[in-house]
Structure 1
Amino acid sequence: MATSLPLQITSSVPEEPTTPYKQYVYAYPHQKAYRLGQDRPLLSDLWAGERLDALSLYVHVPFCEMRCGFCNLFTRTGAPQDVTRGFLDTLERQAGATRAALDANGTPRFTLAAFGGGTPTYLTADELVRLCDICENVMGADLKAVPWSVETSPATATADRIAVLAERGATRLSIGVQSFVDEEARAAVRPQKRTEVEAALARLKEAAFPILNIDLIYGIDGQTEQSFRVSLDAALSWEPEEIYLYPLYVRPLTGLMARHDKSGELWDEQRLRLYRYGRDHLLAAGYRQTSMRVFSRIGTAAVDGADDSNINEYNQQAGMVGLGVGARSFTTDLHYTTDYAVAVPEVRRIIDDYIATPTEQFHRAQWSFRMDDDERRRMFVLGMLLESDGLRVERYRAQFGTVPQDDFGPQLALLAERGWLDDDGGLLRLTPEGTAWADAIGPLFFSPRVNEAMASYRDR
């Protein structure tokens, strides 16, 4: 969305980052910046004028069989069947209200889909069938015709669940292994055995999904390059199309918070050392790094079957339709979601409230964040700069009528001074060391409004 006049963005000199691990920027703004709206607009009004032919569908399933010590996701453990059944009943009502809002403005077409959480495969095979039916029959998403990703875990990647996902057309399965070393898994408060992990991976490989992703974590207590290599090589032996390397974070209200006693500098050194080791090991094994966390095997669907860039760019700005408690939806002018928490009692309360929500309420946005040109520019920069393809100045100019150097000069100057940014003929791209510091670079582009909203959010 180009503006007729250049926008003057207040961009003071940013503070020098003191840690590489300030915040993982997986979406901007963070959910802690959302607030319960006063006007709560109708979804049919929000989607008026939006592009409906390149939508993405995200379904958040807020259940897990266990809660890892590092986890601060919106999820409940051990939900009984009456809760999961009530969740699906409500999801179907929410889907009906959402589809009606889209239909009021045209014919929606979904080009991407994802089931996240939580752990979507916490649901039984029959429940997964029902979830797919809701997406296809109510929302109108043709799951067999679009790239469709599902997250799973070793304990829930059972044969019957995998069979449902394969039959319904899932193209990418992502399994959270974190470590193949049992002692490290216990240190991260993830009580799993390597034998269980290997059995789950065997089932996933047999199902032959086009893309298999394995998540690993570095920075666990006692982890060394040698022990990290055990996990790296174990993951590589399965020839996954993708491997994600996540730095360990210890956040408030998580299981590791009370027991983690490392000093910041020593822990930063350990994580950076392990990151560089893992990065170099995967690059040597034939993988291409596409962001700080993502490594895709060259010559596979993860690299060669990438989605159309115009669709990706649109979904970074708008076009995300979220279903389920905790899911976010993006329109051009408003991002909206449900209430959010980390603490177990609050998560359970919010899920119970979601299940009890009257259908009429799903026709309106509840918790939301109002976007403007300033925030859209920041979102665009973050979505492009933190990826290996980088930020093209002309694409930014075509979108907003200005250049990023004018809008974010102090931030870009700092990155260049630190050796974290290259300007290759109008392509702004992070250097290898800049990519290592991506979790410190992202927050440099947060607006004062977002920073203030996040600072005033009460963790619960």
Structure 2
Amino acid sequence: MTAVPTLRERLLEDPFQGYTYAYPHKTAYRHFDKPHPLRELWAGEDKQSLFLYLHLPFCEMRCGFCNLFTTVNPQEGRVGRYLDAVERQAEAVGEALGAHRHARAAIGGGTPTFLTTAEMARVFSILRRHAGLEKGIPLSCELSPATAETEKLAQLREEGVTRASIGVQSFIESETRTLGRPQKPAVLHAALDRLAKAGFPVMNIDLIYGMDGQTVASWLCSLAAALEYGPQELFLYPLYVRPLTGLGRKGRDPSDIRLQLFRAGRDFLLKRGYRQISLRLFRHESCPNEGDGGASYCCQEDGMVGLGAGARSYTSKVHYCTEYAVGRVGIQAILDDFVARPADHHSFAWYGYELTAAEQKRRYILKSLLRADGLDEADYAAWCGQTWSEDFPELGDLLDSGLVVRGHGKLRLTLAGMERADTIGPWLYSAEVEARMAEYELA
């Protein structure tokens, strides 16, 4: 059996070892021995502060770095059939949940605005009639420059979208070309101009660093161009090249100056009024925090309801979704299965991960520690009945390494710790989750 690398050994490796946006990772999911009735899964849960997520897996093109569950340019009628299936699912899930309330919601993909305005109108109708989506809660929607049309932006504002997130990646055409993403600067700037004028309370711009030919100077040029549109948030993503993606098939590797690029971008934004929320997220000091203006939602404790193929749902003890794929054939097979499912199939969880008490604690630690707010020691002890030092004495290694500081009742990543978040996250994975991820065969 291969020895698990120590923290010291991991710190000698590339800082970018894995993005811990959820735990356990979906590649640790498997088919359950017996399907779980959703009514039973949710029976003992607090359902008054849930996160609602709808996945729309359609795009006008597939970028070379993309490993999301999405398909491009679907055949005529396929979007409609997919929405038929989402409606069946939403109705079944709503009946299983019973009385519940969403604190916030998001529509992602794919590119939701790839859909026509008529199709998007149906999306919102489904969410309001069957999923209990209320106007007035924080609601995010993703879009691309090519689909940020004036009519669609007006529709999103009318439907109550409060946060519009646009994938830009770079303002330099030669750089986006290396990502397998043809993107004309004129189209990009026109889209951002329309988006800024649309008046969303929060506009987010996604950028990527670590691509071929990118320098610190060109990276700062893209950041400066983004700030011209006054975004309240920016996500700075380090480039990862994963299996079955366009870049992966070409054998491309990310730049070896990603840490240098990250530091330059971080310092640039901190000097211009942005706060660092996580390794990737920067929010302007004038922008309210996520919980302000809406019902409180705690990602460590509150549940999530996912609709659509590829969308995950979280109860305290079970995480579940459809199967996952990256390759075109695998994605298409899962979508065909999802569209063909009868209504009663959606009343069960078939595929996912059953969290032991130890894994629930580990998730709490990961979801807290990797953000600027850090791990609240009293909250953790109240939630699980023990201290973090009893459950995870290895966190002491982070303190000894200067990656975490302890004070005012919290454990927080230092500046050095935050830039190694993609090292610390995987280091904290359990042996079982790591083994499942390693044996997963990606389709």
Give the TM-score normalised by structure 2: 0.96
Distance 1:111 1:318 in 2: 10
Distance 1:261 1:88, change over 3 A: closer
Report the alpha carbon displacement of residue 229 of structure 1 after superposing the two structures with TM.
1.2
Query: Mapping of 1:50-61 within 5 angstroms?
Result: 50-61=45-56
3-state SS of the aligned residue for 2:319?
A: strand
Out of 145, 149, 162, which is 1:158 matched to? 149
3-state SS of the aligned residue for 1:99?
A: helix
Query: Mapping of 1:263-302 within 5 angstroms?
Result: 267-268=255-256, 270-301=257-288
Query: Mapping of 1:236-251 within 5 angstroms?
Result: 236-251=227-242
Distance 1:292 1:306 in 2: 24
1:74 is matched with 69
1:418 is matched with 401
Q: What residue ranges of structure 2 are gaps of 5+ in the alignment?
A: none
Out of 311, 317, 338, which is 1:333 matched to? 317
Distance 1:304 1:401 in 2: 26
Alignment of 1:312 onto 2:303: no
Runs of 4+ aligned structure 1 residues displaced above 6 Å come to none
Query: 2:227 is aligned with what amino acid?
Result: L
1:171-206: CA deviation from partner (whole Å, max 9, x where unpaired): 000000000000001011111111111111111112
Report the alpha carbon displacement of residue 131 of structure 1 after superposing the two structures with TM.
0.3
1:203-223: CA deviation from partner (whole Å, max 9, x where unpaired): 111210000000000001010
Distance 1:156 1:12, change over 3 A: closer
Report the alpha carbon displacement of residue 304 of structure 1 after superposing the two structures with TM.
8.7
3-state SS of the aligned residue for 1:41?
A: strand
Out of 403, 410, 418, which is 2:387 matched to? 403
2:345 is matched with 361
1:5 is matched with none
Query: 1:278 is aligned with what amino acid?
Result: G
Report the alpha carbon displacement of residue 342 of structure 1 after superposing the two structures with TM.
0.3
Q: Select between 316-325 and 217-226 the one with higher mean Cα deviation.
A: 316-325
Report the alpha carbon displacement of residue 425 of structure 1 after superposing the two structures with TM.
3.8
Whether the 8 Å contact between 2:205 and 2:231 is mirrored in structure 1 is yes
Report the alpha carbon displacement of residue 303 of structure 1 after superposing the two structures with TM.
6.9
Distance 1:184 1:12 in 2: 35
1:428 is matched with 411
Out of 9, 13, 16, which is 1:16 matched to? 9
Out of 36, 39, 43, which is 2:38 matched to? 43
Alignment of 1:135 onto 2:97: no
3-state SS of the aligned residue for 1:160?
A: helix
Query: 2:22 is aligned with what amino acid?
Result: A
Q: Select between 425-434 and 435-444 the one with higher mean Cα deviation.
A: 425-434
1:6 is matched with none
Query: 2:332 is aligned with what amino acid?
Result: R
Q: Number of paired residues?
A: 438
Whether the 8 Å contact between 2:103 and 2:297 is mirrored in structure 1 is no
Q: What residue ranges of structure 1 are gaps of 5+ in the alignment?
A: 1-10
Distance 1:455 1:12, change over 3 A: closer
3-state SS of the aligned residue for 1:301?
A: coil
Distance 2:172 2:293 in 1: 32
Out of 436, 439, 442, which is 1:453 matched to? 436
3-state SS of the aligned residue for 1:164?
A: helix
Query: Mapping of 1:124-273 within 5 angstroms?
Result: 124-142=116-134, 144-262=135-253, 267-268=255-256, 270-273=257-260
Report the alpha carbon displacement of residue 108 of structure 1 after superposing the two structures with TM.
1.1
2:28 is matched with 33
Whether the 8 Å contact between 2:111 and 2:144 is mirrored in structure 1 is yes
1:288-330: CA deviation from partner (whole Å, max 9, x where unpaired): 111100111111235793756xx332x4334101100000111
Distance 1:305 1:455, change over 3 A: same
Distance 2:71 2:290 in 1: 34
3-state SS of the aligned residue for 1:220?
A: coil
Alignment of 1:376 onto 2:360: yes
Query: 1:16 is aligned with what amino acid?
Result: E
Query: 2:385 is aligned with what amino acid?
Result: G
- Quick one: percent identity of the two aligned structures? 45
3-state SS of the aligned residue for 1:69?
A: coil
Query: 1:42 is aligned with what amino acid?
Result: P
Distance 1:147 1:188, change over 3 A: same
Distance 1:317 1:456 in 2: 29
3-state SS of the aligned residue for 2:246?
A: coil
Query: 2:432 is aligned with what amino acid?
Result: R
Report the alpha carbon displacement of residue 42 of structure 1 after superposing the two structures with TM.
0.8
Report the alpha carbon displacement of residue 366 of structure 1 after superposing the two structures with TM.
1.1
Report the alpha carbon displacement of residue 426 of structure 1 after superposing the two structures with TM.
2.8
3-state SS of the aligned residue for 2:167?
A: strand
Give the TM-score normalised by structure 1: 0.92
Alignment of 1:89 onto 2:76: no
Alignment of 1:352 onto 2:345: no
3-state SS of the aligned residue for 1:85?
A: helix
Distance 1:261 1:138 in 2: 44
Distance 1:51 1:20 in 2: 37
Distance 1:457 1:237 in 2: 43
Distance 2:218 2:5 in 1: 43
